[in-house]
Structure 1
């Protein structure tokens, strides 16, 4: 994420506006931090926003759905049908760089492979999700976002899929049971499923 992103979403980006409207219902009125990429719309991650919430950052991708115009043949669904979210502790004036890189790589993976994520999916990236050996979080799980509802725009419907960092042990337990069962346990301690690399 090399550049800060400034976009006027009034009329020319109804998909973008639908995402922001859904988030605005859940977070206080604020100007989120924005980052952009060099991708053109429909070619990968276009932007990412970080919203301040209670004790954590809420990260939201822009680019998995159709932000500016309708290009896909599936009229009822916008793009891939979802945007990614992630929550990380708010312990600085910006979210940690690793969390932004992680979301960008996940979006790149979907565009390159043609294999979208969905609720219940798990991923082992082959190392610590922060890139640092100091964390126990070595894998990822995907779930319906705990607070953001599905959205509708002129380009179709979409939902929010949240990314949760998990330990190798939690990944093994998910394989033995279900992703949902272990995420439910995590939600008892962190209802918003905050990914805390220090846990």
Structure 2
């Protein structure tokens, strides 16, 4: 998109990046209004949570419930003429996460918001970003104080959302996938990225839904 087209289409009150994310997610879930968590106050005005918003959708598949989370804030969300036509929108990604419903989350999976914000703090503070097949430890269970073998995360392109081109540049939807402590150690010892592990898991779990009860 050229600058003049951008200025004609949007005003300073618009959020072109946010609208771009909405457009692709709404196509995936056209009949569902997501639950949404918003940072208050926003990071740019002194808030402590770098991600401005996190939406999640409830999906039933084969009789089982899972949640699909989408972040708003790793990419450039708001009107910004200087970013028009850039190769990548800010960090160039947004995070997603598919989580199988867990019996201890009776009040909802609110812990995921904290997990995503903690990852965002690392990215914003360090200036480092994630790409497909990166992996990281969570320094304990990803759901704290929980008896789960899932203690790390691997990243891949979201199998349904993929990547998009926004007025501020390209954005990949990077999905987090929960991995066990042993899987993380194996990746470290082999000195490899997580591509093979992700491909193996996707054979039986094509949407890469994280299950906190998975042992191996």
Structure-1 residue corresponding to 2:167: 154
Aligned to 2:158: 145
CA separation in 1, counterparts of 2:108 and 2:168?
30
Q: Deviations over 1:133-177 (max 9, x none)?
A: 411101111111111031122212211001111101111233325
Do residues 50 (structure 1) and 56 (structure 2) align? Answer: yes
The gaps in structure 1 that reach 5 residues or longer are 1-8
In the TM superposition, what are the counterparts of 1:80-159 in structure 2 within 5 Å? Answer: 80-90=91-101, 95-159=108-172
How big is the shift at 1:95? 4.3
- 1:16 match: secondary structure: helix
Out of 169, 176, 185, the position equivalent to 2:200 is: 185
Q: What is the rounded CA distance, in whole Å, between the counterparts of 1:145 and 1:22 in structure 2?
A: 12
TM-score (norm 1): 0.86
Instruction: Name the larger-Rg structure.
Output: 2
Shift of residue 110 of structure 1? Answer: 0.1
**Do 1:35 and 1:47's aligned partners in 2 also have CA atoms closer than 8 Å?**
yes
Q: Which of 60, 68, 75 pairs up with 2:70? A: 60
Instruction: Provide structure 2 residue ranges, at least 5 long, that are not aligned to the other structure.
Output: 1-9
3-state SS of the aligned residue for 1:31?
A: coil
**Total equivalences in the alignment:** 191
- Over the aligned positions, Cα root-mean-square deviation in angstroms equals 2.5
Which residue number in structure 1 is paired with residue 4 of structure 2?
none
How far off is 1:120 after superposition? 1.4
CA contact (8 A) 2:50 2:120 kept: yes
